[in-house]
Amino acid sequence: IEVKKEITKMTVVITKMLTSFYKTFNNKTNIKKALNKAKKLETKSDQMQEQISIYLAECTKHELSLGSSKEASAMIRITNELESIGDSSLNLFIQIERLNNELHFDDSMNKEITEFYNLVMKFIEWNNLFIIDNLKAMSIEDLEKSAKYEQEIDDMRNQLMDSSRKRLSKGSNSKSELLFMDIIKHLEHVGDFSLNISQALEQIH
């Protein structure tokens, strides 16, 4: 039970990082301060991952029933994927720190990033429903919904990469477009890690 509480805490930290990223991106102010805060949260999530993994690895050494050992490895996987989302979130902060007078996004770019971020967050919140409910198991139907989210994220990423290429062909700033693509890429990674979390949640019984 304790370890489930810790995983819930870690989820809260990671979700906080992602929400803070969008808030900072949207306001384009105090980016440096927000980045330093994100670094602290990321370090915290690394420490949590380490402690949870050590504890669960210890558990698996003892004679666990097949069900419990399967659940322990599912929890290790969830923890690792959460930590990866933390890394991607920090990368998002590092990207937007590059925004300045020369490097800026026009309205259409801001709008596209907002739409993409909202879609990714829907997936995060969907997983969180299960994690925060004391690591409730996902059914096959739930997992299918997760796969749909991930597919939507991939499709939207392709659309956004296309629209970025179109803007480039019309002479938009190539550095800004590269930064835009990097942000899209890191958000898309969050979608990938989220699907891995869903698959692990389906292994919990």
pLDDT tens string 26-73: 988 889 999 999 999 999 999 999 999 998 888 777 766 656 888 888
* Nearest-angstrom CA–CA distance, 36 and 77: 27
Alpha-carbon distance 114 to 107, whole Å?
10
Of 2, 140, 122, 89, the closest CA to residue 81 belongs to 89
pTM as predicted: 0.94
**Rounded to whole angstroms, how far apart are CA atoms 31 and 37?**
10
Q: pLDDT digit string (tens) for 152-197? A: 999 999 999 999 999 999 999 999 999 999 999 999 999 999 999 9
Of 53, 142, 35, the C-alpha closest to 92 is 35
If you search the block for the tokens 């003892």, which residue do you land on? 62
The 10s digit of each residue's pLDDT in 82-101 is 999 999 999 999 999 988 77
